[in-house]
Amino acid sequence: MTKDISEEFLNLVKALDSDTHTIFIHVDRKSGDFNEDIVKNNLHHSAAIFVPRVDVTWGGFSIVRGELSLMKVANAYGEFNHFHLLSGEDFPVKNNEQIDNYFENHPDVNFLEISQRIPEQNQDRFRLRYQQYHFLQDKFIGQKHNIFKYIDFASCYLQRFLGINRTRHIKIQSGAQWFSLNQKLIRYIVEHEKWIIKHFKNTYCPDETFIQTLIADTEYMQTLYNSGQENLRFVEFYWKAKHNLTPRYLNVRDIHLIDNKKYFFARKFSKEVSDVFLRNLKNDL
């Protein structure tokens, strides 16, 4: 059975369609068959490259494997100025000419958030994410609050009691997973895949830390825009549940983001709202 392609995702590729852009796409393996031709038929300028698929589980190391799949293929494909990691519910809030001009003028700058936003929510739970092994997250848990989740965290507390701490020799940094990175840094990440696997396999939500931690105490920290305080993306969080801080869906009242020079991308978008943004961005061309 072929997986239906969301209209908001098609709007995203239409918005990015440009002679200067190549679009690399990862489709979750659990989505089943995926009609690549539908995407390609909606593009008139950009090439669409589909990368090897990973079965992605929320909060698991499989998310990192999916990102690495994108980075390895994109890095080997050719020479690029910047690589922008976007989800299917993200959307640009600037047109392609504005995006290209900005990044062409900042070739040596990387846009990645490094902040205390995540650990400040709960320091102890943050330490549990990475100091101990989460063997069940990818296979049995994901976003579910099932018996395996309680077994997993009980196991972590037992590991802590036994003195297991995976982070004794590394400095854990965190921030949003979404980035705009130049090829020099992308290449550095790809070359350190084994290090990433060693330190982050069987951790919890490693997508929010693995790049930030990898580049800690390296020259790349000096290349971060505004010292890692901004990644050019608008997102507004709200507490959906006690331990679930999640981005809200944008609405048509957020159209003012198009005029805000601070942001180039935003999340999350429904099809209806991305329709409005797409029309306004096209009108700006």
DSSP secondary structure letters along 178-226: --EEEHHHHHHHHHTHHHHHHHHTT-SSGGGTHHHHHTTTSGGGGGBGG
In the predicted model, is pLDDT for residue 243 greater than 90? Answer: no
> Do residues 128 and 156 touch, judged by C-beta distance below 8 A?
yes
**Residue 283 — very low, low, confident or very high, per pLDDT cuts 50/70/90?**
low
Distance, CA of 225 to CA of 157 (rounded, Å): 37
Name the more confident of 2 and 34.
34
What's the pLDDT score for residue 240? 81
Q: 86 by DSSP, 3-state: which?
A: coil
Indicate the pLDDT class of residue 245, thresholds 50, 70 and 90: confident
How far apart, in whole angstroms, are the C-alpha atoms of residue 276 and residue 113? 28
d(CA 155, CA 137): 12
The reply to whether omega before 268 is within 30° of 0 (cis) is: yes
Please state the domain extents for the chain: 2-284
| Cα(82)–Cα(99) distance, integer angstroms | 11
Residue with token string 């239409």? 14
- For residue 241, name the pLDDT band (cuts at 50, 70, 90): confident
Does 285 have pLDDT greater than 60?
no
Q: What is the pTM of this model?
A: 0.94
